[in-house]
Amino acid sequence: MSEPIKYGPAKLLPGDQIRISTNPDTEPFWLAAKEHRLTACQCAACGHFRMPPTAYCPECSSTEKNWPTLPGTATVFSYVVCNRNPKDGEPYIYVPVVVDIDGAPGARLNANVTGCNAEDVHIGMKVTVEWTEIQDGWVLPNFRKL
């Protein structure tokens, strides 16, 4: 039996390598992130959360949305350990995750996780939001191990 792989500290991807685009359905999420508020799209008619935000609620077809401020904590639903920077292929350890957002049942978010070694990330791990400045003045939510 071989020893488990030791990757070392999970880094965040450099913010200057990340660019986003917005549309009328997603922009409120990104504007809240600029204020360091984690939110998720919630139907104003029936309360159903949906991420990514879409024009119509999949449950009741309403176009009305709320953007509640959430606690900023989450639980790792899934993850993968990456060992190359996608920009230049150089060795770089980072851990993309899908998290269940606390306070928004059913809403999940893709991000990166830090604050621990990559080999210690696991499904069910509790994390808290950490804000990363990216291109064009936007701010990206990532997560840190609690």
62 binds Zn ion per the rule CB under 5 A:
yes
Q: Which stretch binds Zn ion (CB under 5 A): 16-24, 54-62, 86-94, 124-132?
A: 54-62
Candidate list 11, 15, 37, 48; residue touching Zn ion; CB under 5 A: 48
Closer of 57 and 101 to Zn ion (Cβ): 57
Contacts 24+ apart (CB under 8 A), 40-47: 40/67, 40/68, 40/70, 40/101, 40/104, 40/107, 40/109, 41/65, 41/66, 41/67, 41/107, 42/66, 42/67, 42/68, 42/104
Q: Which residues in 64-123 contact Zn ion (CB under 5 A)?
A: none
Residue placing its CB nearer to Zn ion in the complex, 62 or 110: 62
* SS3 assignment, position 32: helix
Looking at the Cβ atoms of 57 and 111, the one nearer to Zn ion is 57
Number of residues that bind Zn ion (CB under 5 A): 8
Nearer to Zn ion, 61 or 78 (CB): 61
Closest distance between Zn ion and the C-beta of residue 105, in Å?
A: 13
Task: Give 43-50's long-range contacts (Cβ < 8 A, gap of 24+).
Answer: 48/106, 49/101, 49/104, 49/105, 49/106, 49/107, 50/106, 50/107
Residues that bind Zn ion (CB under 5 A): 43, 45-46, 48, 57, 59-60, 62
